[in-house]
Amino acid sequence: MSVQLYDTLSRSIKALAPLSDQALRFYCCGPTVYGPAHIGNFRTFLIQDVLRRVAEADGIEVKHVRNITDVDDKTIRRSIEAGLSLGEFTAKWTAKFHTDCELLNMRPPSIEPSAVAHIPQQIALVETLIEKGHAYATDDGSVYFRVNSFEDYGRLSRLKQRELKTQVENSAGEVNDADEYDRESVTDFALWKGRKAEDKGNYWTSPWGEGRPGWHLECSAMADAAFGGETIDLHGGGIDLCFPHHENEIAQSECAHGHDFCKHWFHSAHLMVEGAKMSKSLGNLYTLDDLQQKGFSPMVVRYTLIAGSYRQQLNFTFDGLHASHSGLSKIERFAESLLAVTGEDKAAMNHYITADAPEDFGRLVKAWDALRNNLNTAACLGAIFGVIGSNPAASIDADGARAMLKALGTLLYALGLQLFTVEQATVDAPETIVALAQARWDAKQAKDWGKADQLRDALLAEGWVVKDKKDGFDLELK
C-alpha cells in the first residue's frame, strides 16, 4: 500500500505519488510575516511536516517548497506602524518563525522563496495573462484577473454549485482590490495593485506604473520559479485558503500555462481554542511563546497539534496539553524499558529515530499503516499505546527490543516527536484534576479507602500523581 491522502479537488482519497520520476513536488502556502505565528498557523504547518516525514519514511523523495509572504496589505501596514522598512520588519518576523519551527522540530523546506524576491517573475506572469486576454489594466495602474475568462473557476471549492457572478465592486460598492476579502464576494481580483499614498515607499516599477503584486499572484509565481512552471504534485494549506486564494492560484497558473496547476490538494481544518474560534477579542490567539510561558514544552505543543485528524476541527485545550504531556511521558517510559533490555541509555534513542523504516514493523505495524492511510495520527498514537499496554519489554530479548525500537523510532520520526526533552511540568493542575484529588482526600478523611484508591487510579490514568501531606495534598505530573 502506498501513502493515501484525501484530495480536496476530487473529494476522494488518492495515492500520493509524483507525476514523473522526479521528487514529489509539494508546495505549501507559508506564513505572512507581520507578527508571530499562532497555534492555528502552526497546526497546518505541522501537519504538512508530518506528511513530508511519512512520505520520506515510505521511500518517497519530496521537494518541499514553503513560501514567505513578505509583502501584502498587513505587512505594509504593520511595518509603517512600527517605523521600520518593509525588509527590516519582515526579516524580524521571518527569523522568529524559523526559531519557532526549530523548537517544534519542523524540517526546513527544500526551498523557501519570498514574494519580494520574485517581483520580476510576478510581473512577467501578469504580462502573459494580459497578452492571453485573461487580465486587464485599469486607470489607476492596477491589473485585474478576468474571472469569467476561466471557465473552470470555482471547481476546487465547488463554487459553481452556487450562483457565480463577476463584479467589479464588492457588496459595499467599493472596488475589490484587497488581498483578502469576504468569502461571498466573487470578483475580478487584483494581480497588480497600483501605488496608493498609504503604501508610502513600498512599491515597484511595472509596465502599468508603480505598485506591488496582489497576494494571490505571489504563490503562482513562486511555484513557477521552484518547479519550472510544471504541474505540481501536491499543494497544501489551511482550509480557509481554499477560496479565494487557491481558486485564484489555479486560475492564474492554468490560464498562463495552459495545463493543470496541481493534481492533489491537501487542506487542514480550522483550530478551535477551548471550544471557541480563535480571535484577538477573546485573547486566545496563543503563540508558542505564550504556551512556553505557561510551562508547556514545544514537544507537548507539537504532540497536541498533530494528535487529531487533520480533516476535522481540533479543539485545543489546556486539559489537552496536560494529556499530551502524559502521553509523551508514557512513550518515553516505553522507550526506556526497551533500552533497558538492550543495555543502552537514553542517548541511544536518537540513533533509532530516523526515516530509515524497517521492512517489518512487527507489533507496531498498525501504527505505521494508520499514518499511511490518510495521515491518521490519532489511530497511530492509539496503536502505539495499545502496544505499550501489553508491556512487551517483559517478554522479548535484546534483538526483539532493538527491532521494536527501530519501528518505534521510525514512527517518532514520522510524527516529529523527540523524546527526553520534556522537563517536569510546573503548570497548575486543571480544575477537573484538582476536583478529583479533593474528592480522594475527602474519601480518605471519611476512611472510604476503596473510593480513595479508585480516585487515585483515575488521577494516575490522567497522568497525575497525588502526594499526601499532613494537612492536604500536592499534585504532580507523572
For 29-62, write each residue's pLDDT tens digit: 999 999 999 999 999 999 999 999 999 999 999 9
Q: Is a pLDDT exceeding 60 seen at residue 184?
A: no
- Give residue 95's pLDDT: 98
Beta strand 62-66 pairing with 234-238: unpaired
Q: What angle do CA 257, 119, 33 make, to 5 degrees?
A: 110
Q: Is a pLDDT exceeding 60 seen at residue 297?
A: yes
Q: What is the pLDDT of residues 145-166, one digit of tens each?
A: 999 999 999 999 987 644 454 4
279-282 long-range contacts, Cβ below 8 Å, gap at least 24?
Answer: none
Identify the weakest region by mean pLDDT among 87-101, 148-162, 244-258, 344-358.
Answer: 148-162
pLDDT bin (cut points 50, 70, 90) of residue 183 is: very low
Instruction: Write out the E strands in 172-224.
Output: 190-194, 211-213
Average pLDDT over residues 186-215: 93
Q: Is a pLDDT exceeding 50 seen at residue 367?
A: yes
Single out the residue of 418, 420, 417, 429 nearest to residue 294, CA to CA: 429
Based on C-alpha coordinates, what's the Rg of the chain?
A: 26
Distance (Å, whole) CA 3 – CA 372:
4
For every residue of 292-305, DSSP letters joined together read: HHTT--HHHHHHHH
CB-CB contact of 325 with 296 (8 Å):
yes
CB-CB contact of 164 with 153 (8 Å):
yes
pTM: 0.85
144 forms beta bridges with 136, 190
- Give residue 134's pLDDT: 97
Phi and psi torsions of 315, nearest 5° = -90, 105
Q: Which three cell numbers stand for residue 52?
A: 513530508
